[in-house]
Chain A
Amino acid sequence: MWSKSLLWPAVILLFLALPFVIDSNYYLSILIVIGLYTIIVQGLGILMGYAGQVSFGHAGFFGLGGYTVAILTTRFDWSPVFALIAAVILPGLIAAIIGRPTLKLRELYLALGTMGFGILIHTLFNEGRELTGGPSGISGIPYLSIGGLSFDSDIKFFYLVWAVVLLVLIGINNLIRSRVGRALRAISESEHAAETAGIDTGKLKLKAFIFSALLAGLAGGLYAFYITFISPSPFGFHTSVQFVLMAVVGGLGTFLGPLLGAALVVLLGELLRWVIPLVIPGAGGEYEIIFFGLILVFLMIFRPKGLGAFGKNLKPPAVKPSVAPE
């Protein structure tokens, strides 16, 4: 029994020791990007896996977080901490405004509606030159500093990002076991039945949408502080599709799904970029996409519930039995 209870702390400790083993900023930056994407996909996982909604516009919220930090710190001299808080709040506010009409749409129409939002935001990043710097973006974003501690190196940022990932993971784990989490699980099973049980499904779906936008904004803000430069290119429609892909491949409604999905998609992209030119000399980016697609198709055929389905066997930490109303 004791070995099971120590499994999770041991895994976390081993992971936290990685920067001392990895002697490469490249690998460290990959781990940081995986962490940032995991934060976004965790929110998207709640929206898709529990509230049953799909969003092809989350790169827009990710970008809003990034641009909020960039604009507030470089143009208005806001302190990094307040800029990061604003980067979380602004996407949440916009999600609250667009969420009510958008979430009335269903299935394909909802996908198109959110896609339209993502494209609109991306266009604004490109065209709002005075504020966003247009396609050239904004440079000179300061490092994030909290109470005198400046996150000015990859190692520091690695620990910051993964501390946030861990906090979000624990928070979502608790949320799913709460009254609201039970209602979200009910909606994911049958919206109709959830309504007849007295659950305001529209309100709850909107809350899930806002929550996922807040997390995307947080990741965007951290991304801007990490790269210290921002431009529209990482926030296009392609990135939104990747987020959905990470959520699905990882496994909707699973504990480890978002992390595994983000890790697989990022690592596969990096691996193919390295392997393909060795196998097919002179091959361009299009070959990567073909192999990428093939691997994902096979994965979905043989593991349709996603990678995180195996994570269900590994019990997450601090499971609280739901024997009485909390």
Chain B
Amino acid sequence: MLRIKGLDVYHGYVQAVRGLSMHVKEGELLAILGSNGAGKSSLLGTLAGLNKPAKGDILLKRKGDTPPSEECPQRMKGDTPPSEECPQRMKGDTPHLAETEECPQSYQAITGNSPEKMVRLGISLVPERREIFGSLNVLDNLMLGAYHRYRSDKAIIPSDIREVMEFFPALKDRENELAGTLSGGLQQMLAIGRALMARPKLLLLDEPSVGLAPLVVREIMSILAQLKNTGVTIMLVEQNTRAALKVADRALVMERGTITISGSSDELMSDVKVQQAYLGRARVQAAVAL
């Protein structure tokens, strides 16, 4: 549903993302792993429209299922294997742009759009450190998530709030309390709920486990798994590698602004490099050897 080709992002003179190419499949939970300064948050910020890329393309699948055409008969049929008519499709990362050039109607360029436009297009970010509006109550925070839909969806916003409350029952009990008085876990749930109020196609989460107790992290991760089952595509940036790999379908490891390892969660779990660098296996082995 999302394709990125040759993305370069700078913060001043520092290059945070270097020629990154990747794709996100519809309905998957993709974990982006890596250490501090790897460029994970910069990538998410760019997808959310907060950072303007210096180079590269971000392409998002258009709304609705475009009917198959003669030029590209397999288009929009999800995981259909490559065919002669549309040979580049679904062959991984490199031929993405070529594919969209062949099937130009199925993807739209969203590179450099404003954050507000990205939300309108269906990309919502749950920012690092939650950034809920502490002086507003829980309901107001949720309503702000649907700010851009007010005119078009006015009638269904209350039912959306009810749905979010059903997803996060703990929030319902405190709906009129100031968001700033909530615990870290509830604030994280509220931040996710606020993003869901935008009815996103792609939900971006930037380190949702930061500053939370292990039990709360487990709860948040289980919520993400449930969310994925509702059909929301999720990109999860996380330093808690073990927790992220448990819920993710696929994962990428970023180092110095580029992807160095990619594969299914199981593949990454058993990858020696990942084990040594991110799962603490080397430390365990060293301790055993001593």
Contacts and interface: CB of A to CB of B under 8 A. Distances in A.
Interface of A: 179, 182-183, 185-186, 189-190, 192-201, 321-325
Interface of B: 48-50, 114-116, 119-120, 124-127, 131-137, 139-140, 143-148, 150, 154, 157-158, 161, 176, 194-195, 198
A200 B116 contact: yes
Nearest to A185: B136
Contact of B133 (A179, A185, A321, A323): A185
Contacts of B194: 197
A323 B139 contact: yes
A323 B176 contact: yes
B144 A196 contact: no
Contacts of A193: 127, 131-133
Nearest to B120: A198
Given A182-B136, A185-B133, A189-B133, A197 B48 contact: no
A198 B148 contact: yes
Given A179-B150, A190-B131, A323-B176, A196 B140 contact: no
Contacts of B198: 197-198
A206 to B, nearest CB: 13
Given A192-B127, A325-B158, A199 B147 contact: yes
Contacts of A194: 133, 144
Contact of A325 (B127, B131, B154): B154
Given A185-B136, A325-B157, A325-B158, A196 B143 contact: no
Given A193-B131, A197-B194, A322 B140 contact: yes
A290 B125 CA distance: 50
A322 B133 contact: no
A322 B138 CA distance: 10
Given A185-B133, A197-B194, A199-B147, A324 B116 contact: no
Nearest to B206: A196
A196 B135 contact: no
Contacts of B144: 182-183, 186, 194, 197, 199
Contacts of A199: 116, 144, 147-148
A322 B137 contact: yes
B147 A198 contact: yes
Contacts of A200: 114, 116, 148
B243 to A, nearest CB: 23
B275 to A, nearest CB: 34
A192 B124 CA distance: 13
B127 A179 contact: no
B125 to A, nearest CB: 5
Contacts of A196: 48, 50, 115, 119, 124-127, 131, 195
A238 to B, nearest CB: 33
Contacts of B134: 189
B133 A186 contact: yes
14 contacts: A182-B143, A186-B133, A186-B144, A190-B133, A192-B127, A195-B49, A196-B48, A197-B194, A197-B195, A199-B144, A199-B148, A321-B176, A325-B146, A325-B154
